[in-house]
């Protein structure tokens, strides 16, 4: 048993990591939080109040911690500084293992909003700690918004808008010709693989998790078949993506179009190196996810 501290463990991917580590009953779980979290404490989680602008606050909270897992929201304005402060505190507190907040892709150079991730990743590699980053492609949970069948479980902490496919509105924006394969993974399964990885004697620098691999065209075909409904499909050709990117778009449109370009370029297609280490974990497929939460809805 080791003590594992999760930063950003109250929502999103962090809540899934916390839940699945608790389910193993193998480790002590500490959540670093800016505010009181009585609901987590009732589940057996120790909550440490921290101030990310205070090195002393963070170092004190990490005393006796073996592994730090960062699930800090990666688009926040203080993402880079918070992660670097957390890493420095982990080093000073004698932490052994560190996981930076990634949970998507390692193609940082393709998306301007990921610039801070490059800085953090370089600092992690130079830290002297054992480390890994979990790369899991696009979360299936983006498709959970609006279902009448256990929406909370379908979302699993995801609180953002739909991306490209809106299951409730039956609309789909398909980047490029729609044929490029993309890795999709349920956040609940990501949590399971992360929890299991705590028991590995050695971590690879990159921990790649694959729930399923489908093109956007294939996902839309499945969605139409499972819901027995026709989706309003809009094809967004690569030439149009490039035109928008060349026109100095605002930050939101820049991120959106850079991410679509990343999909078209194959940046979200990769092979797993974690799944085979835990054959008892059977990740949910795209078809299974859509069937569970949208068949008959």
**What CATH number does residue 215 fall under?**
3.90.25.10
CA gap 70, 83 in Å, rounded:
8
Residues 65 and 163 in one domain: no
Q: What is the SS3 assignment for 31?
A: strand
Per-residue confidence at 73, pLDDT binned at 50, 70, 90? confident
Residue 15 belongs to some domain of the structure: yes
Residues 80 and 170 in one domain: no
pLDDT given for residue 79 in this prediction? 86
Look at the chain and report how many structural domains it folds into.
Answer: 2
pLDDT given for residue 281 in this prediction? 98
Residues 108 and 171 in one domain: no
Residue 125's domain spans which residues? Answer: 2-131
Residue 242 belongs to some domain of the structure: yes
Residues 167 and 290 in one domain: yes
Residue 76 has pLDDT above 70, yes or no: no
Q: What's the mean pLDDT in 186-209? A: 98
CA gap 82, 7 in Å, rounded:
10
pLDDT given for residue 11 in this prediction? 87
CA gap 15, 191 in Å, rounded:
8
pLDDT given for residue 78 in this prediction? 82
25: CATH: 3.40.50.720
pLDDT given for residue 139 in this prediction? 98
Residue 206 belongs to some domain of the structure: no
Residues 176 and 68 in one domain: no
- What pLDDT, in 10s, does the model give residues 226-258? 999 999 999 999 999 999 999 999 999 999 999
- Token pair for 56: 């002393």
Residue 42 belongs to some domain of the structure: yes
* CA–CA distances in Å: residue 66 to residues 6, 85, 86, 259: 11, 17, 14, 35
Residue 199 belongs to some domain of the structure: no
What mean pLDDT, rounded, does the chain reach? 96
Residues 262 and 228 in one domain: yes
Residues 98 and 157 in one domain: no
pLDDT given for residue 99 in this prediction? 98
> Where are any strands of DSSP class E within the chain?
3-7, 28-33, 46-49, 67-70, 97-99, 130-131, 133-135, 138-139, 165-166, 171-175, 181-185, 206-208, 212-215, 232-236
């Amino acid at each position: 048993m080791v003590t594992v501290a999760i930063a950003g463990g109250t929502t999103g991917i962090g809540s899934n990591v916390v839940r699945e580590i608790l389910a193993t009953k193998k480790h002590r779980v500490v959540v670093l939080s800016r505010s009181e979290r009585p609901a987590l404490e009732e589940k057996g989680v120790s909550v440490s109040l921290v101030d990310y602008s205070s090195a002393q606050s963070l170092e004190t909270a990490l005393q006796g911690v073996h592994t730090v897992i960062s699930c800090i929201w990666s688009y926040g304005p203080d993402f880079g500084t918070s992660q670097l402060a957390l890493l420095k505190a982990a080093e000073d507190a004698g932490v052994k293992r560190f996981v930076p907040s990634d949970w998507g892709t390692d193609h940082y150079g393709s998306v301007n909003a990921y610039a801070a991730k490059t800085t953090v990743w370089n600092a992690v590699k130079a830290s002297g700690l054992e480390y890994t980053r979990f790369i899991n492609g696009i979360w299936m949970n983006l498709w959970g918004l609006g279902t009448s069948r256990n929406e909370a479980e379908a979302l699993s902490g995801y609180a953002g808008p739909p991306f490209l496919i809106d299951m409730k509105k039956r609309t789909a924006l398909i980047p490029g010709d729609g044929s490029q394969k993309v890795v999709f993974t349920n956040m609940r399964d990501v949590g399971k693989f992360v929890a299991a990885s705590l028991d590995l004697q050695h971590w690879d620098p990159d921990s790649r998790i694959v729930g399923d691999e489908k093109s956007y065209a294939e996902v839309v075909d499945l969605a139409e078949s499972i819901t027995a409904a026709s989706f309003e499909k809009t094809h967004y050709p690569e030439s149009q993506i490039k035109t928008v990117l060349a026109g100095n778009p605002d930050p939101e449109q820049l991120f959106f179009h850079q991410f679509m370009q990343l999909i078209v370029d194959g940046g979200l297609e990769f092979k797993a190196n974690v799944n085979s280490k835990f054959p008892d974990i059977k990740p949910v497929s795209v078809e299974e996810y859509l069937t569970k939460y949208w068949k008959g809805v």
